[in-house]
Structure 1
């Protein structure tokens, strides 16, 4: 029916890339000045910083498709099938209300009043009401705000309703036992714990 829309933060992606670049430069500088051994000792701390920054600013995002809404937060990813969707609400960040409870989208903060005024009336305003993009490749946006993501979710839901794809959605939800699902980012958490431990060992033996 329509292409999948992916919303992430361009600022967050840039910040993560900058952190990785700075970490690499620091390792090269340590290698040149103090040798590969010291660079190896600094590696866990550099990796820890990059992983944490990436988890906070690169990973979070929201995907809107014909089948579901996917909310990727720092610690977990929540999949919201359309029959469980209820509405969106605009707090400090976007909140997606579902039959199973509320899901806050860390990647979609509320735009400031100043930013909204500056963009008012612009045809390319990402916070303006949107339509569903035609079926095709994934449509990506690096300007995720509560308003832009919420508008995309509402537009997709309205289109699915008009097309009849959500007729009897509540009955289907109950009969099939559809619920929102949450997957914890175990690999990221394990990497952080391991890198913290290694960094602690390095600092303790320095």
Structure 2
């Protein structure tokens, strides 16, 4: 939710800046600043609004800034929260932009109750746990739900085959996002040169 609020605030501030220049009749500066303000608005939406993770019966869909990953349950080998929630598969590791691990402040605020009953795969050697596994953090909340579902499927024998079909992990590149950001960045640079 914080990311979406931040993206909305950035877009609104950029629009207010453009509106202020239009009301003032400063058309030269308006034409020069429309490109960078549009770029920062689009970047804020791509980085803070769009990323998400969807969990369903077939697997997990991770929507990041430039790519979407469709991961079937049998392809998930491990779920980690070191820097952000990360899914490990036989083909690659997939960071989840929508679920970052806490910083130092967030790690200090974690209480014992936040790291109890997380599921067996959350705990390391000596029952140690990472700050990102705490259910009071974004990464920990998503990891908790993912692990519960993944462990239940494993314990029920649905992941026993160990066979992951080649190509079952689907990756979609967000070409439109890349084109929009690239075009706006090029317009920004061109506007600074002129």
**TM-score for the superposition, normalised by structure 1:** 0.73
Task: Show structure 2 runs of 5+ residues with no match.
Answer: 120-135
**CA apart distance, 1:110:** 1.8
The answer to which structure has the higher strand fraction is: 1
Matched residue of 2:7: which SS? helix
Kept in 1, the 8 Å contact 2:74–2:159? The answer is: no
Q: 1:159 aligns with which of 152, 176, 181?
A: 152
Q: Distance in 2 between the 1:184 and 1:84 partners?
A: 20
Tell me, yes or no, if the aligned pair for 2:106 and 2:137 is still in contact at 8 Å: no
Deviation per residue, 1:128-162 (Å, 9 max, x gap): 738xxxxxxxxxxxx86222221111111123334
Q: Within the alignment, does 1:65 sit opposite 2:52 as a pair?
A: no
Quote the Cα distance in structure 2 between the aligned partners of 1:45 and 1:127: 46
Query: Which one has more relative contact order, counting CA pairs under 8 Å at least 6 apart?
Result: 1
1:127 and 1:71 map into 2 onto residues whose CA distance is 26
Q: d(CA) in 2 for partners of 1:25 and 1:44? A: 14
- 1:145 maps to which residue? 138
Which residue does 1:5 correspond to in 2? none
Q: Number of residue pairs matched?
A: 178
- Shift of residue 190, structure 1, vs aligned partner: 0.4
Give ranges in structure 1 of 5+ residues lacking alignment: 1-9, 131-142
Specify which structure has the higher proportion of helix: 2
2:174 aligned with 1:185: yes
**1:1-206 matches, cutoff 5 A:** 10-35=1-26, 38-112=29-103, 114-115=105-106, 118-120=109-111, 129=118, 145-164=138-157, 166=158, 168-171=160-163, 173-174=164-165, 177-205=166-194
